[in-house]
A and B are shown apart, each in its own frame.
Chain A
Amino acid sequence: MQTFRFVTVMSFPRKRESREIFGFRVALCFPGMTSGSPIRMIICMGLCVLLLAAGCGRQQQQSHPLPASLTLAVGGENPEGYDPTLGWGSYGNPLFHSTLLRRDADLNIVPDLATTWQLAADRLTWTVTIRPDVVFADGSPLTARDVAYTFNTAAVAGGVLDLANLEKAEALDDITVQLRLKQPDITFIHYLITLGIVPERLHGPGYGRRPVGSGPYKLVRWDEGQQMVVEANPYYYGVQPAIKRLIFLFSGEDAALAAARAGKVDVLSVPSSLATREIPGMKLHVVKSVDNRGLMFPCLPDTGAKTPHGLAVGNDVTADVAIRRAVNLTINRQALVNGVLEGFGRPAYGPVDDLPWDNPAIRFKDNDTEKAGILLTEAGWLDVDGDGVREKDGIKAEFPIVYNATDSLRQGLALAVSDMLRPVGIRAVPRGENWDRIKNELVHSTVVVFGFGGHSPLEMYKLFHSPGPEPSYWNGGFYTNGVVDGYLDQARAAASFADSIPLWQKAQWDGQTGFAVAGDAPWAWLVNLNHTYFINQCLDVGRSQMEPHGHGWPITANINEWQWTCE
């Protein structure tokens, strides 16, 4: 759930030489430096200068951008490659591939490859017909067999996608495909929306390095860690994009910013902390998102129980619902938005704020230390020894808040929340940790700053349904409520997506119980981010859809609508 995954490279992409020179320079100079001989050092430095000069000469010849091209520094490099069956495109837009369905700017489900799609009365069989005229970027036709192949392959590929519920996908004829499920599951439609179709003929190991799809663009060149060049796919069946050539830069934050200041980048994603500044020739483009941040509480007491992998489970303090509610009531979410996000965001009250399946009844008044204090006192948490921290049965109201040490946004949230909780007598100790360690070791026994937010309610199911026999970071706090489980199961088994929405809402709060703060409060949701971009003043990027978790790449969702406005 990393927010920004920038690849740290010292050089600017497109200038391949400079990195080689950098490596060369290091290699040459180290022996000179360590031996301490001044003559050798001078020779060494001279060589460096010569080499750099040679490199610069070559760079200048190269750096005339084609007028029709657009340079984006929005991250999005996938080290595993661009294979949809392994998960490419599941957060955001597959770009090289097209999907059966897609969501428009208002998140409505609209057809893309598909012409009709229908769930049978048994709720197990999807029948989808596709356009007959579609060809892949290499000119070969896209048939129902490719669709069936894509779904069957993704189901067994073992990537980040979980299509275990798919029994079989079968092509009935050239344009009709049937997807059979093992159990009724309306959230399966999410895969119709996000899974890019790959050609059966070309797919195989290594496909992710040279993807061929039927999307609006095709991959031309990918220098890993540096840049990717894509061009409009002449065979694309939809509206041809106005911008024919895109260059994605995969440089570090600082390098990308410097390139933008030099006028070499047209679309730049920046963290909110940098969005307050000005870049000449660029305007700020702010996109609302469901990319949220919140605290996940361990909901079980620490009884010494362990997971099958031997990890500690539970925390005696956060197992008390009064503590979890008090934390929720105390936090001043608007102050977090203003202070930590520089105003680029909005308070978060649940995991799916403002999505169609959000339940507006779960909003509450926060920044209410008085109510939180009463709640804690009634639950028996009192500060008897006068050290400013409440106790109950000899246990201090104290827990660690663990955050990803490389993410300054989560660090800021953890520190600010910790300070907000002090006045009510709860001591939250921020702790920076390696993300892998958090996800794989600490998640069941500590309070963790997490980020989620997707375009499918399946995420809500995974976060709040009782965990299965193999616990993971989804519902790592072991939240269990039979009523909520019932609603979530019913919602998944619903006959249509529209029918499932009231059930998703009831799982949050049905008037009696739910995972909202008035109910069991297994989370303290903090903020929803706004994703901030600097874009060329001459570029019109249309209306961006509410972005999922994952800042950067999702902005390309409507890239075929982008246009240059001045010339």
Chain B
Amino acid sequence: MTTRLFFPSQWDRRTRTLAAISICLVFFAVIFIAAWLYGDQGQVTELDLRKLPPSWERPFGTDWLGRDMLARTLKGIRISLGVGLTAATCSACIALLLGLGAALLGRTVDRLVTWLADAALATPHLVLLILISFACGGGARGVIIAVAASHWPALTRIIRAEVLQLRSADYVKLARQLGKGPYWIARRHLLPHVAPQFLVGLLLLFPHAILHSAGLTFLGFGMPPHTPAIGVLLAESMRYLSMGLWWLAVAPGLILIVSVLAFDVLGNNVRALLDPKTLRE
């Protein structure tokens, strides 16, 4: 595991996992607090300070209207994280409902949900995203709906398989024979198994959702062009890359990659903690 590379070897697996999780959480807290502390500053144009390369005073430089790129990047990643988190949460909830429905509500519903999931997986992702966000009128709402409506199939399949497997497990059958009602079974036997799957699935959806929301805004289907969303920043930097203003692309790009990686590490470590197979390593 990657965590072995970064932490002292005398720490046991569990400590290392917990440390990785806390570092990721601190990273996100720093982003949100810093973006909040910056207030309006990143959006103010300073026409005398245009296109400055990175310096001690302005570590990320300034853009074509003299706006501070550090502030814009922080605000941008906060917007992208916000959009990504909302979309991923919605998507995971859709996946939970559909997965449970497919497993519990009989064969017709199961067929329908499986067919929907296959259809959604077979459509090229970006095309689906663009179509939905365009149909919803763009903006942050359009991006959220598009990402939420296109990211549920994988998790739906996992939850459906998990529940189907549980339903045929001996102890569930036994509970049913003993006369326990479906709600009791759902609460006592299904929930404890499905909840961790759901949580990890949700965490692992975040990076996808963030990347795809950035991708949509990059293509111009999302936010208004002066919103400092990461995709917008990157799209804007394209115009100036050939003029040598490399910092406009590097800073937002790096932050985006680091955030996505951080969510990936977070998800994998939480899974390691929750999964009964790796729980006691």
Q: How many interface residues does A have (CB within 8 Å)?
A: 26
CB-based contact B65/A415 at 8 Å? yes
Asked if B50 CB lies within 8 Å of chain A CBs, one says yes
| Chain A, 399-424, CB within 8 A of any chain B CB | 405-406, 408, 411-412, 414-416, 419
Residues from chain A with a CB closer than 8 A to the CB of B239 are: 273-274, 408
User: Do the beta carbons of A411 and B226 come within 8 Å of each other?
Assistant: yes
Shortest distance in angstroms between B50's beta carbon and chain A's nearest beta carbon? Answer: 6
Contact partner of A340 (CB less than 8 A), chosen from B65, B122, B236, B240, is B65
Q: In the complex, what distance in Å separates the CA atom of A431 from the CA atom of B138?
A: 14
Nearest opposing residue in chain A for B46, CB measure: A419
**Closest chain B residue to A433 by CB distance?**
B224
- When the two chains form their complex, are residues A340 and B47 in contact, meaning their CB atoms are under 8 A apart? yes
10 inter-chain pairs at a CB distance below 8 angstroms, sorted by A residue, are: A33-B124, A273-B239, A277-B242, A339-B65, A339-B66, A405-B224, A408-B239, A415-B45, A415-B226, A416-B65
User: Which residues from chain B contact A471 at a C-beta distance below 8 Å?
Assistant: none
Within 8 A of A (CB), among B208-226: 220, 224-226
Q: Are B44 and A419 in contact (CB under 8 A)?
A: yes
Q: Cβ of A339 and Cβ of B224 under 8 Å apart?
A: no
Is B169 close to A, CB under 8 A? no
* Given A411-B226, A432-B226, residue A416 in contact with residue B243 (CB < 8 A): no
Q: Is A338 an interface residue (CB 8 A)?
A: yes
Query: Which residues of chain A (234-286) have a CB below 8 Å from chain B?
Result: 257, 273-274, 276-277
With contact pairs A339-B66, A430-B226, A432-B224 given, residues A277 and B243 touching in the complex (Cβ less than 8 Å): yes
- Residue from A339, A415, A432 in contact with B50 in the complex, judged by beta carbons closer than 8 Å: A339
Q: For residue A274, which residues in chain B have a CB less than 8 angstroms away from its CB?
A: 239, 243
A residues within 8 Å of B by Cβ?
A: 30, 33-34, 257, 273-274, 276-277, 335-336, 338-340, 405-406, 408, 411-412, 414-416, 419, 430-433
Please name all residues of chain A whose beta carbon is closer than 8 Å to the beta carbon of B243 when the two chains form the complex. 274, 276-277
Are B65 and A412 neighbours in the complex by a CB distance under 8 Å? yes
In the bound assembly, the distance between CA atoms of A430 and B64 in angstroms comes to: 17
Interface residues of B in 36-57 (CB under 8 A from A): 43-45, 47-48, 50
CB neighbours (8 Å) of B66 from chain A are: 339
Q: Are A416 and B225 in contact (CB under 8 A)?
A: no
Interface size for chain B: under 10, 10 to 19, 20 to 34, or 35 or more residues?
Answer: 20 to 34
CA distance in complex: A257, B238 (Å): 13
The CA-CA distance from A30 to B125 in the complex, in Å, is 11
Residue of B nearest to A405 (CB): B225
A257 contacts across to B, CB distance below 8 A = 242
Given contacts A34-B122, A273-B239, contact A416 B45 (CB under 8 A): yes
Known: A273-B64, A336-B47, A411-B225. 12 other contacts (CB 8 A): A30-B124, A33-B124, A257-B242, A339-B48, A339-B66, A340-B47, A405-B224, A408-B236, A412-B64, A415-B43, A415-B65, A430-B226
Whether the Cβ atoms of B225 and A432 lie closer than 8 Å is yes
- In the complex, per-residue mask of B225-249: 1 if CB is within 8 Å of any chain A CB, else 0: 1100000000010011011000000
Residues of chain A within 8 A of B124, CB atoms compared: 30, 33-34
Q: Are A419 and B45 in contact (CB under 8 A)?
A: yes
Which residues of chain A come closer than 8 Å to B122, judged between CB atoms? 34
- The CA-CA distance from A525 to B96 in the complex, in Å, is 56
CB distance from B253 to the nearest CB of A (A): 19
Q: Which residues of B contact A339 (CB under 8 A)?
A: 45, 47-48, 50, 65-66
How long is the Cα–Cα vector from A33 to B50 in the complex, in angstroms? 43
* A408 to B43 alpha-carbon distance, docked (Å): 15
Q: Which residues of A contact B225 (CB under 8 A)?
A: 405-406, 408, 411, 432
How far is the CB of B75 from the nearest CB of chain A, in Å? Answer: 14
A273 vs B63: C-alpha distance when bound (angstroms): 12
Kindly provide the distance from the CB of B59 to the nearest chain A CB, expressed in whole angstroms.
22
Cβ distance B181 to chain A, nearest Cβ, rounded Å: 43
| Closest chain B residue, CB of each to CB of A33 | B124
**Which of B220, B236, B240, B242: most chain A CB closer than 10 A?**
B242
Is the pair B64, A431 in contact by a Cβ cutoff of 8 Å?
no
Q: Report Cα–Cα, A33/B236, bound state, in Å.
A: 29
Q: Tell me, rounded to whole Å, the shortest Cβ–Cβ distance linking B260 to chain A.
A: 22
Please measure, in the bound complex, the distance between the C-alpha atom of A338 and the C-alpha atom of B224, giving whole angstroms: 25
Shortest CB-to-CB span from B106 to chain A, Å, is 30
B43: A residues at CB distance < 8 A: 415
Shortest C-beta distance, A437 to chain B (Å), equals 11
- State how many angstroms separate the Cβ of B234 from the closest Cβ of chain A: 15
Min CB distance B112 to A, Å, is: 22
Q: Closest A-chain residue to B227, C-beta based?
A: A432
Given A30-B124, A419-B45, residue A431 in contact with residue B65 (CB < 8 A): no
Residues of A within 8 A of B48 (CB): 339
B53 to chain A, nearest CB (A): 15
Alpha-carbon separation in the docked complex, A365 to B66 (Å): 25
B65: chain A residues within 8 A (beta carbon): 339-340, 412, 415-416
Complex: chain A residue closest to B244, CB-CB? A277
Min distance, Cβ A142 to any Cβ of chain B, angstroms: 46
Chain A residue at minimal CB-CB distance from B240:
A273
Minimum CB–CB distance for A141 against chain B, Å? 51
Chain A's closest residue to B238 (CB) is: A254
A253 vs chain B, min Cβ distance (A): 8
What's the Cα separation between A274 and B48 when bound, in Å?
18
Minimum CB–CB distance from B141 to chain A (whole Å) comes to: 16
Beta-carbon nearest neighbor of B224 in chain A: A432
B220 surroundings in chain A (CB, below 8 A): 406
Alpha-carbon gap, A336 to B48, bound state (A): 10
Residues of B within 8 A of A415 (CB): 43, 45, 65, 226
Among B50, B224, B240, contact of A431 (Cβ-Cβ < 8 Å): B224
CB-CB < 8 A to A273: which residues of B? 64, 239-240
CA distance A408 to B220 in the complex (A): 13
Give chain B interface residues in 46-82, CB to chain A under 8 Å. 47-48, 50, 64-66
Residues of B within 8 A of A335 (CB): 47
Kindly list chain A residues whose C-beta atoms are within 8 Å of the C-beta of B242. Answer: 257, 277
> With A and B bound together, what is the CA distance between A411 and B239 in angstroms?
14
Q: Mark B124-155 against chain A: 1 for CB-CB distance below 8 A, else 0.
A: 10000000000000000000000000000000
A34 partner residues in chain B, CB cutoff 8 A: 122, 124
Name the distance in Å between A425's Cβ and chain B's nearest Cβ.
15
B240 / chain A contacts, CB cutoff of 8 Å: 273
Which chain B residue shows the least CB distance to A261? Answer: B242
Of chain A, the residue at the smallest CB distance from B67 is: A415
> Are A338 and B47 neighbours in the complex by a CB distance under 8 Å?
yes
Chain B positions 79-93 with a Cβ under 8 Å from a chain A Cβ: none
In the bound complex, CA of A461 to CA of B220 (Å): 37
